[in-house]
């Protein structure tokens, strides 16, 4: 079990959730996440799988109970399943309560069974449209049938699937109900995410893409009976139940609802940068202390110093004239 003092930030929030980007690479090029011609990091800059194990294990010792693996696309990292297998020891000890991942679904046919064997019980799959042509447009390189086959493979392996859809004005507004009904038929929960001002992606205009989830929720209310759920994970989502279908719908609204008061998470990049807040530029380099000593004392001290800098909240804000608090890094850099 955990044998180090827990991680408590300056606002008395216990840090129990670590999101870890294991690669900045992806086999898609989603327009709101990365540029089409991305320059990826040199492999020497990335934490090795052994270093990722050591880093995550330090966080688990210090009270992290949930580990979410992200990317890029985490399943394109060479040898990544050896890392998942290594993390199972923390599940078996009881120190880690959940090991999960967020994926675009492209590699699930190959890996779903093995993920289930490693103790993964549920996954998030990013899917913004069920229209194959629109899917190719938004992902640039993706093929919808490959993802749908992956989701089916995950279900067959016993994994519970939650669909994450980015709400994009003029793109998937007309699919709000068809996507919801598909999720209901397939047994998936669905979470909508407001587009965030991350990175300079060229000609993609964030202000034009922005579709407020207040509007989306109001449209649900015209068709369904909504029951607010008290469920909180320390994260950004707020949930309702659609009484007619019984399914759970989540709303992640960084721009229309400030969710920071209960934030229990930090984000580690594939190069060992720890971001204490998704919406702030401040980060701590953990790769240097990790590599400085075979003893984890230096690393643990660096982690504690970073958590002591965790801010109260983020600065994202859309106005009619522009965007405040825009982040210069791509979403793929931090891992969602």
Q: Which residues are annotated as a binding site?
A: 19, 26, 30, 32-33, 68, 72, 102, 126, 162, 196, 260, 263, 265-267, 277
DSSP symbol at 288: H
Q: Which residue ranges make up the annotated binding site for [4Fe-4S] cluster?
A: 26, 30, 33, 260, 263, 277
Work out the angle at residue 273's Cα, subtended by the Cα atoms of residues 90 and 110, and round it to the nearest 5 degrees.
55
Relative orientation angle of helices 297-307 and 49-61, to the nearest 10 degrees: 70
Paired with 285 in beta bridges are 273
What does the alpha-carbon distance between residue 293 and residue 54 come to, in Å, rounded to a whole number? 12
Work out the angle at residue 282's Cα, subtended by the Cα atoms of residues 203 and 58, and round it to the nearest 5 degrees.
120
Written as six digits, the tokens of 199 are 């990175």
> Would you say 307 and 318 are in contact if contact means Cβ atoms under 8 Å apart?
no
Among 1, 5, 76, 35, which residue's Cα sits nearest to residue 201? 35
Name 54's Cβ contacts closer than 8 Å, sequence gap at least 6.
290, 296, 299
Q: Which residue ranges make up the annotated binding site for S-adenosyl-L-methionine?
A: 32, 72, 126, 196
Name 89's Cβ contacts closer than 8 Å, sequence gap at least 6.
none
Q: What is the 3-state secondary structure (H, E, C) of 28-78?
A: CCCCCCCCCCCCCCCHHHCCCHHHHHHHHHHHHHCCCCEEEEECCCHHHCC
> Would you say 224 and 244 are in contact if contact means Cβ atoms under 8 Å apart?
yes
Q: Which residue ranges make up the annotated binding site for GTP?
A: 19, 68, 102, 162, 265-267
> Would you say 36 and 145 are in contact if contact means Cβ atoms under 8 Å apart?
no
């Amino acid at each position: 079990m955990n044998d180090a003092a827990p991680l408590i930030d300056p606002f008395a929030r216990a840090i129990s959730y670590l999101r870890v980007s294991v690669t900045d690479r992806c086999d898609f090029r989603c327009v709101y996440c990365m540029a089409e011609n991305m320059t990826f990091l040199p492999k020497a800059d990335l934490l090795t799988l052994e270093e990722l194990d050591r880093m995550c294990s330090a966080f688990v010792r210090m009270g992290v109970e949930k580990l979410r693996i992200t990317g890029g696309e985490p399943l394109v990292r060479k040898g990544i399943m050896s890392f998942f297998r290594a993390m199972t020891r923390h599940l078996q000890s009881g120190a880690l309560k959940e090991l999960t991942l967020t994926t675009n679904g492209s590699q699930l046919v190959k890996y779903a069974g093995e993920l289930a064997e490693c103790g993964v019980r549920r996954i998030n799959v990013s899917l913004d449209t069920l229209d194959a042509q629109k899917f190719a447009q938004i992902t640039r390189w993706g093929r919808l049938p490959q993802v749908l086959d992956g989701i089916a493979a995950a279900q067959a392996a016993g994994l519970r699937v939650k669909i994450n859809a980015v709400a994009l004005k003029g793109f998937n507004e007309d699919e709000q109900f068809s996507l919801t009904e598909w999720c209901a038929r397939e047994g998936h929960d669905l979470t909508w995410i407001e587009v965030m001002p991350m990175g300079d992606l060229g000609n993609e205009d964030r202000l034009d893409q922005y579709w407020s989830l207040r509007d989306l929720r109001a449209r649900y209310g015209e068709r369904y009976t909504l029951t607010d759920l008290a469920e909180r994970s320390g994260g950004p989502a707020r949930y309702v139940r659609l009484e007619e279908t019984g399914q759970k719908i989540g709303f992640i609204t960084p721009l229309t609802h400030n969710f920071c008061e209960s934030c229990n998470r930090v984000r580690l990049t594939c190069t060992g940068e720890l971001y204490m807040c998704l919406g702030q530029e401040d980060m701590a380099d953990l790769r240097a202390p990790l590599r400085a000593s075979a003893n984890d004392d230096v690393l643990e001290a660096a982690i504690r110093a970073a958590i002591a800098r965790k801010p109260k909240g983020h600065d994202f804000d859309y106005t009619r004239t522009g965007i405040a608090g825009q982040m210069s890094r791509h979403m793929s850099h931090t891992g969602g």
